[in-house]
Amino acid sequence: MTQAIANGRNGQNGYHVDTEPESSSISASSSNASEYGVEGTNGITNGTGNLTLNGNGNGNIRDRMQRKKSSPMMPSFMVSAPGKVIVFGEHAVVHGKAAIAASIALRSYLLVTSLSKSRKTVTLKFPDIDFDHSWRIDELPWAIFQQPSKKKYYYSLVTEIDQELVAAIQPYLADVSPDKPADVRKVHQNSAGSFLYMFLSLGSPSFPACQYTLRSTIPIGAGLGSSATIAVCLSAALLLQLRTLSGPHPDQPPDEARMQIERINRWAYVYEMFIHGNPSGVDNTVSTQGKAVMFQRTDYSKAPDVKPLWDFPELPLLLVDTRTPKSTAHEVAKVGRLKDTHPKLVGSILDAIDKVTQTSAELIAEDDFSTEKEDSLRRVGELMNINHGLLVSLGVSHPRLERVRELVDHQGIGWTKLTGAGGGGCSITLLKPGVPREKLARLEEQLDEEGYQKFETTLGGDGVGVLWPAVLKNGTVEDEEGGMEIDQEKFLNAQGNDGVERLVGVHGGMPGEREGWKFWRVESNPDI
C-alpha cells in the first residue's frame, strides 16, 4: 500500500509515507537516521505507529512540517560497489537463461558531499571520464516525474524506462559537455540522463544540495561491469540520503539486510536500463550483493531469480583486459539480430549455454569438488571452453580475445573464455595446476608486450558498502584522533588506482578488512 502525502502543494515536497508490501516491518526512517545522528531533509517516518492521515491526506503532516526545525547538513559519506566477472552464461542471460557471476576486488567509490542550502544544485563529478556537470535542483522537471500515474517510490519495482520521462530529461542534457567530441559527449549525456532519471524518480525539489564524486579502479567498458558499479553506488547513495535504508550495521538481521540490498538493486537496475537499454540485471545484482550468484530473469516484468552461491570456489583465475573498447549495447543488439534471423539455431545455442551454466553449478556443488583437484579444475575449464566456443558462434568474440586463447590455451596454461559482452573487453583464464613458473612468466611478458593488461583479483568479495561518515584511519599524519576526513580534494587528488585504494579502499590496499566500511551481510539467510 502506498499513501502519497502532498504538503498541500501537491507533490511539491515529495513527502510520502510508504508501506512496502513485502516490508511493512521496516521503517522508512529506519535505524540509520538516529544511528548516524542525521536529521533528514525530507523524511517522514512510517513504522513508528504515530503518523495519522486526515481525509485529504495532509492535515497532521502539514502541522508537523510547519513545526519542523531546520535540519543540519548530512555529513559527507561514501559508498562503494564491486565489479564482476560473468563466469558462465553472458548473452544467454539476456534471453532468459541462467548465468553465474562473481564479484571481484576492483571497485568503484562514490563520495557524497552536502552543500550549503543556498547552493540548490546537484553535481556529478566523474573525473575518470572527464565529466563534471551541475543542475539547479529546483529547475529540474519534477512535475512530470511526480504525476500520480508516473510517481515511483524507493521500494517500487521499475521494469521499464518511461519514454515520456526520458523526453522530459532531454532539455537538461543539452548543455552537458558541449565542447567534447561527439562520442565522449554521448557517454556524458548517457551518464547524466541515467542519473537524472533516478534522481527525479526518487528525489523531490527539496532534495539537499550535494555533489557526487566518483572514482573507480575498474577498467571502463571492459566487461567487468563498471557501469553497474556506478548504478549501485548512486542508487545506494540516493536511498541513504532519503533515509530509506536501515544499516548497514553488524547486528542487522539477514532478512532486513536482504531487503536493503533488494531496494538498492532495483534502482541500480533502472540506471542500467537507461544506459544499456535491455540489460539482464546480472551485473547490478552481483555488484550489490557481492559474492557469487546464479541469476536468471525469465520474465522482464518481474524481479529475477537470484540464488547466492555462498560456497563458490576460489578458482585460480587470470583476468586479462584486451584494452579493446567494446559496447555492451552493440554486442547485445548483435545477438538479438542474429536470433531474429535464425531463431531456432540461435535458440539452441542459447539453450546449450544454459546447459553449460547448469552443469557447472552442479559440478561445483558436488561434495568432492575441490580447487586442489586437477580433475575438478579440468571439468570447470572444459565448460569454460565450451561456453567460449558458443559465444564465438554468436559472433561476440574478437581477434584480441582469440589471441589470448592462442597464447594461453594452446600453450597448455589454462582454459580461457571471454567474460561480459565480448567484442573486446576481458577474458578469464582458469589456470591449470602445476604450470611451471617460467612458463607463466613468459606468458605475462608476452601479454605485456602485446598491450594486454593483466589483473590479479580474487572472486567473491563483499557487495555494496557504506562509509558513514567519510572518515577513515589511514595511519598518516593527516589522521586526527578518530581518523582522517575524506574530503573531495583528497579524493580527487589520490594518484591512480593504488592511491584511491590506499585513501578510501575497503581493504586500504591490504589484505583483510579495514575499519569503517560496513556491508549488508546476508549470508546466513537460507532463503535467498
Ligand X SMILES: Nc1ncnc2c1ncn2[C@@H]1O[C@H](COP(=O)(O)OP(=O)(O)O)[C@@H](O)[C@H]1O
Binding site for ligand X (CB under 6 A): 126, 128-129, 187, 190-191, 214, 216, 220-228, 230, 327-328, 420
| Cell numbers linked to 68 | 519542523
The interface partner of residue 282, options being ligand X, ligand PMV, none and the CB cut-off 5 to 8 Å by kind, is ligand PMV
Q: Decide whether 90 or 462 has the Cβ nearer to ligand PMV.
A: 90
User: What span, in angstroms and rounded, lies between the C-alpha atoms of 226 and 507?
Assistant: 19
The binding track of 323-352 with respect to ligand PMV, each residue x by CB under 6 A or -, is -----x---x--------------------
- Interface with ligand PMV, residue 320, by CB under 6 A: no
Assess contact for 462 and 82: CB atoms under 8 A.
yes
Specify the stretch interacting with ligand PMV by CB under 6 A; choose among 134-142, 222-230, 346-354, 436-444.
Answer: 222-230
User: What are the distances in angstroms from CA 201 to CA 112, 205, 279?
Assistant: 19, 11, 19
State the nearest-atom distance from the C-beta of 280 to ligand X, in Å.
12
Residues 83-112 contacting ligand PMV, CB under 6 A: 86, 90-91, 93-94
User: What are the distances in angstroms from CA 274 to CA 183, 221, 267, 409, 470?
Assistant: 17, 16, 11, 37, 29
Active site residue 255: no
The Cβ-side half-sphere exposure at 444, using a 13 Å CA radius, reads 11
Q: Decide whether 126 or 468 has the Cβ nearer to ligand X.
A: 126
- Interface with ligand PMV, residue 246, by CB under 6 A: no
The interface partner of residue 216, options being ligand X, ligand PMV, none and the CB cut-off 5 to 8 Å by kind, is ligand X
What residues contact residue 340 under an 8 Å CB cut-off, 6+ apart?
Answer: none
Residue type, 241: Q
Assess contact for 527 and 474: CB atoms under 8 A.
no
Looking at 47, 225, 414, 505, which residue binds ligand PMV (CB under 6 A)? 225
Nearest to 447 by CA among 432, 433, 426, 430: 426
User: What are the distances in angstroms from CA 345 to CA 174, 394, 420?
Assistant: 43, 10, 22
Active-site pick, 18, 283, 354, 409:
283
- Interface with ligand PMV, residue 297, by CB under 6 A: no
State the nearest-atom distance from the C-beta of 94 to ligand PMV, in Å.
5
| Cell numbers linked to 173 | 542534457
The interface partner of residue 129, options being ligand PMV, ligand X, none and the CB cut-off 5 to 8 Å by kind, is ligand X
User: What span, in angstroms and rounded, lies between the C-alpha atoms of 87 and 387?
Assistant: 9
User: What span, in angstroms and rounded, lies between the C-alpha atoms of 56 and 8?
Assistant: 9
User: What span, in angstroms and rounded, lies between the C-alpha atoms of 175 and 328?
Assistant: 26
State the nearest-atom distance from the C-beta of 78 to ligand X, in Å.
15
Assess contact for 91 and 75: CB atoms under 8 A.
no
Looking at 404, 421, 431, 484, which residue binds ligand PMV (CB under 6 A)? 421
Q: Decide whether 82 or 205 has the Cβ nearer to ligand PMV.
A: 82
State the nearest-atom distance from the C-beta of 230 to ligand X, in Å.
5
State the nearest-atom distance from the C-beta of 219 to ligand X, in Å.
7
Q: Decide whether 41 or 416 has the Cβ nearer to ligand PMV.
A: 416
Catalytic residues: 283
Give the residues lining the site for ligand PMV (CB under 6 A).
Answer: 86, 90-91, 93-94, 223-225, 279-280, 282-283, 328, 332, 420-421, 425
